[in-house]
Amino acid sequence: MRTIIAITLIAATSLVANAQDESAVEQTNGIKFDKKLVQRWKVGMTITAPAGPCAGIYGTATVPTDWPEQQVRLVEEDFSAEVKDVAYRTLDNGVKQMLISIPMLNPGQEAHAFVTFEVTRSSILGPDDPTQFKVPKRVPRDIGKFLAPSPKIESRHGKIRTLARELAKDQDSAWGKVESMYDWVRENVEYVNGPLKGALAALNDGTGDCEELTSLFVALCRANKIPARTVWIPGHCYPEFYLHDSEGVGHWIPCQAAGTRDFGSMPDFRPILQKGDNFRVPEKKAPQRYVAEFLKVKAIRGGGKPQVQFVRQLLDGE
């Protein structure tokens, strides 16, 4: 009989409370939530043993969770009999993962673990008065970490810092500073699909995909002491930046670095998988730019490795 376990690495209740407070604020002075779209997403994995048996199988998969613009409801769990334990844990930036454990698979045997979520995602309209915003003089510790460099976001490199100062020097408002960096990245980095290079490489060679454009924009913001982070959705990413309103309340504001120009707004309805770009993951030694799926097997007999297929599938939407 499998068991379902709840694991929390960082206080999940505080994350939920913060999200609720942020949502309430952003409906007043900050961004505004517009249309809602309800979708059902299936997430999980199938594992097939090779010609020999394998034992001690452990896998993880990121699942959607609540954010101010997103509400998530678990509607179905589908675990094959081989799956003994299923756990959920929350990492430091609010990333939620499903963890599965399979004691043994016989040669050619297949196991699966799937969960289906109903995700309600709101599109975002920009603030009514962007001129009110200020660069925060002091930020909470959980926001301050988005001022530091991240993997492939080299915000302290001299070339990035010089460009950031140059782009901001003639701007009177915080909004104008951020928008000048945003427009520069879009105008000077040509969208070209390719392997991950990061912010500095995109600045040096002038090309990159959504990850490079987002990383360079985030790096420039951080170099100008403006917190910024990456938002990951299926097949894409975009940045958010953080400013204080006239009352000193902080707001996360999205923009579309690659694709249609959307500054301060976000029309995309794809579910948010995670926010951030510098994660501590127990299974990895180094900080991770993105929390990817993971599979580990303790023992394999007879050669070969088990085949794994990670699934993130849209089932339907309204």
Rg (CA), the chain: 21
Query: Which residues fall within 8 angstroms of residue 80, CB to CB, at 6 or more apart?
Result: 110, 111, 112, 113
Task: Give the pLDDT of the chain (318 residues) as one tens digit per residue.
Answer: 344 444 434 333 223 333 333 443 445 678 999 999 999 999 999 999 998 899 999 999 999 999 999 999 999 999 999 999 999 999 988 999 999 999 999 999 999 999 999 999 999 999 999 999 999 999 988 999 999 999 999 999 999 999 999 999 989 999 999 999 999 999 999 999 999 999 999 999 999 999 999 999 999 999 999 999 999 999 999 999 999 999 999 999 999 999 999 999 999 999 999 999 999 999 999 999 999 999 999 988 877 789 999 999 999 865
Examine domains 3-122+282-317 and 127-264 and report if their fold is the same.
no
Domain 127-264: give its CATH code: 3.10.620.30
The first and second tokens of residue 220, run together, are 């420039």
Give the separation between CA 61 and CA 100, rounded to whole angstroms: 9
Task: Give this prediction's pTM.
Answer: 0.89
Looking at the DSSP assignment, which residues form a beta bridge with residue 78? 114
- Per DSSP bridges, beta strands 54-63 and 32-48 are unpaired
Looking at the DSSP assignment, which residues form a beta bridge with residue 110? 48
Report helix, strand and coil shares of the chain as percent, to nearest 5: 25, 40, 35
Residue ranges per structural domain of the chain: 3-122+282-317, 127-264
* pLDDT number for residue 305: 86
* pLDDT number for residue 28: 61
* pLDDT number for residue 73: 97
* pLDDT number for residue 167: 97
Q: Which CATH number fits domain 3-122+282-317: 2.102.10.10, 2.60.40.2250, 1.25.40.390, 3.40.605.10?
A: 2.60.40.2250
